[in-house]
Structure 1
């Protein structure tokens, strides 16, 4: 089966429609969310090809397939992240500046900054006495590196 478009996301599928269908999941690492063309296997062993017509990243909860009996949904695998919780806007700016100099992609959830685990970043946070935790977190979107040169 080839998937060429995302039908919906799990949040927008009615609860009754979810209950009445067998749910299969495609487990992906966040890095795979940016791939428009890939081969995947559901947790029930069904092989799928994903070849999206529109340029769009995949997201946790995307519905790839749905019929009267079943539904196939993307589930992102939790990954090893540093969850940074600056105490002030000043501290947030300083952390963001230092991470930006390293060209590290970050995501934000409420008042927390999420970055993929890196021992050098962890050492910098310890050195600067910035509150953080190392956690397994499921992100909704891929960490996207922004192309940039200093030249």
Structure 2
């Protein structure tokens, strides 16, 4: 079966079929437009999405009256950064920006993929953080940039 479009997201569905199959993915794989995946029931799928479309946790790849196939993102190894002042937020945002590291924000915390150098920086700057396995809704999107 080839999937060329996302039907919707399971969180927005009112009526769900009785049987759900899941495709477990790493967050980096959410950005791939073309890939081969296998459901937790062993069904092989090809995904070929249109340009500028990426997957999100909970996306429905297939649905009929009896079955649904849903994307489920595996937990990532993350640093959850919890600055206590605007000064700390500015310092860490500037440092991460210089390294071109993508970040996500949930409430009052900043999430970045684990990197021992970032962890050392957080310790040096005395910015509260914790390392944890956590599921992200979207992939960390690296933005290409060159210094000239």
Provide TM-score, normalisation by structure 1: 0.95
Q: 2:127 aligns with which of 127, 130, 134?
A: 130
Question: What does 1:50-69 correspond to in 2, within 5 Å?
Answer: 50-69=47-66
Distance 1:53 1:126 in 2: 42
Distance 2:38 2:96 in 1: 35
Segments of 5+ residues of structure 1 without an aligned counterpart are none
SS in 1 for 2:53: coil
Q: 2:80 aligns with which of 74, 83, 86?
A: 83
SS in 2 for 1:125: helix
Q: 1:44 aligns with which of 41, 49, 57?
A: 41
Moved more, 130-139 or 48-57: 48-57
Aligned length: 148
Distance 1:48 1:85 in 2: 39
Distance 2:67 2:52 in 1: 26
State the match for 2:4 in structure 1: 4
Q: How far is the alpha carbon of 1:116 from its aligned partner?
A: 0.3
The RMSD of aligned alpha carbons is 0.8
Distance 2:114 2:51 in 1: 31
Q: How far is the alpha carbon of 1:55 from its aligned partner?
A: 2.4
Q: 1:25 aligns with which of 5, 22, 35?
A: 22
Q: How far is the alpha carbon of 1:54 from its aligned partner?
A: 4.5
Provide TM-score, normalisation by structure 2: 0.97
Distance 2:81 2:88 in 1: 11
Segments of 5+ residues of structure 2 without an aligned counterpart are none
Q: How far is the alpha carbon of 1:91 from its aligned partner?
A: 1.1
The question of whether the paired residues in 2 share the 8 Å contact of 1:81 and 1:137 is answered with: yes
State the match for 1:114 in structure 2: 111
Which contiguous aligned blocks of 4+ residues in structure 1 show a shift greater than 4 angstroms?
none
